Structure 1
Amino acid sequence: MFMYFIYAIVIGYLLGSIPFALVIGKVFYHTDVREFGSGNLGGSNAGRVLGKKAAIATITLDVLKVVAAVAISAQFDAAASIWAGLAAAIGHCYPLFAGFRGGKAVATMFGFLLSTAIFTFQSAWYVVIPFLFFLAVLKLSKMVSLSSMVAAVSSTVYILIMQHDPAITAASLLLTLLVIYRHRANIARIRSHTENKITWM
């Protein structure tokens, strides 16, 4: 049982460490996105530096790498699979293949929610409820950062209510803390009323 968790964490971290924003930038645009914008290896910065198509491709692949990690790990242990999702998010933030300088875990968080809903919990509500919170807060605040943090918190609260496995709830809580920690600069800007807001909603 313990070895399943180790396998899941290793699989998740390695897949999460694939820096798709960096790969897409260098292969198709001959640009290192870490040198521009916020410097993050996430979909938002890829879009800011490279454009809409690069953003969509990066976000899609960042979601799918978490789905792949959870799907593989779920084949041998459902509880371990959620730790694969957490490890993938950590790998995305601190990628082995990109000098431990990655993204903010927003796309990977939704990859985590989607994949665990399918493979771990086998219930769509585990991704639907956080996504609804995300949309509601985004509609009211126009801030992706705040919406992402609220979605992460709502996911953990829902899992705490619905699940009674300490390993599963611990993994969810750690992911939420990771998302909040990676957005600490955004939190400071929210407090000072200088955070960027979307204009398309």
Structure 2
Amino acid sequence: MSFLVLLICIVMGYILGSIPFALVIGKVFYKTDIRQYGSGNLGGTNAGRVLGRNAGIAVIACDILKVVLAMGLASLQSEACSIWCGVACCLGHCYPVFAHFKGGKAVSTMFGFLVSLWLFTFHDISYALVPLGMFLVILYLFKYVSLASIASSISSCMYITAQILSLDLNNLMIILASWLMMFLIIYRHRSNIQKIMNATENKIKWM
């Protein structure tokens, strides 16, 4: 694998990650710029609150699939290309070049990363199911999407580290990527953490 190929995969991941599906779906199908409503966040949760459940589901699905597409294409080159392409995709989602670098909070794209690990790297669905299970449990208990997102990212990081910890370079690379993903999600939710502490964070009402 050459450095140039890796760089091309990273750039591809960032560009695909930068596609703001919440903005596209909102403007094309609902004639609404969701940045002007709710939290202003370009993610599935805000799209669901502003535009309705179907829009939220569509945005989440598209955000997951853009990572799977990026990592799937990059995996044709190497595992390293796939992993760093996925990280770049998540960064593009948070800081999209097509939306003035103001995007989502990387939760759906994290799950896209985990689905891609299952499909292209480990061929083990538990890498996606364990964080999803944690997300649903925390969401059911506390009703905070933000808290459930943070908990799922931590559980994902811990699970990956525990499962593959070794001196193998590829494994260390995946562990590093998972830790970076966890810190990115926690950082992107810093305002939500403050709201939870102040008891002003929005709770879901459908669970």
TM-score computed with the length of structure 1 as normaliser: 0.95
User: Deviation at 1:80?
Assistant: 2.4
Cα deviations across residues 112-161 of structure 1 (Å, max 9, x unaligned)? 11111111222111111111111111121111111111111111111112
Number of residue pairs aligned between Structure 1 and Structure 2: 201
Match of 2:198 in 1: 192
- Aligned amino acid, residue 114 of structure 1: V
Q: Where do residues 86-105 of structure 1 align in structure 2 (5 Å cutoff)?
A: 86-105=87-106
Match of 1:180 in 2: 186
Q: In the aligned structure 2, how far is the partner of 1:75 from the partner of 1:160?
A: 25
Match of 2:131 in 1: 130
Match of 1:149 in 2: 150
Match of 2:46 in 1: 45
Q: In the aligned structure 2, how far is the partner of 1:35 from the partner of 1:139?
A: 29
TM-score computed with the length of structure 2 as normaliser: 0.92
User: Deviation at 1:15?
Assistant: 0.5
Q: In the aligned structure 2, how far is the partner of 1:57 from the partner of 1:132?
A: 21
Contact 1:17 1:91 in 2 (8 A): yes
- Aligned amino acid, residue 15 of structure 2: L
User: Deviation at 1:4?
Assistant: 3.9
Q: CA RMSD in A?
A: 1.3
Q: Where do residues 1-201 of structure 1 align in structure 2 (5 Å cutoff)?
A: 1=1, 2-163=3-164, 164=166, 165-201=171-207
More displaced, 30-39 or 93-102?
Answer: 30-39
Q: In the aligned structure 2, how far is the partner of 1:135 from the partner of 1:53?
A: 19
Q: Percent identity?
A: 56
Q: In the aligned structure 1, how far is the partner of 2:32 from the partner of 2:16?
A: 22
User: Deviation at 1:5?
Assistant: 2.9
Task: Mark the runs of 5 or more structure 1 residues left unpaired by the alignment.
Answer: none
Q: In the aligned structure 1, how far is the partner of 2:5 from the partner of 2:118?
A: 20
Residue 193 of structure 1 aligns to a residue in which SS? coil
Residue 12 of structure 1 aligns to a residue in which SS? helix
User: Deviation at 1:196?
Assistant: 1.4
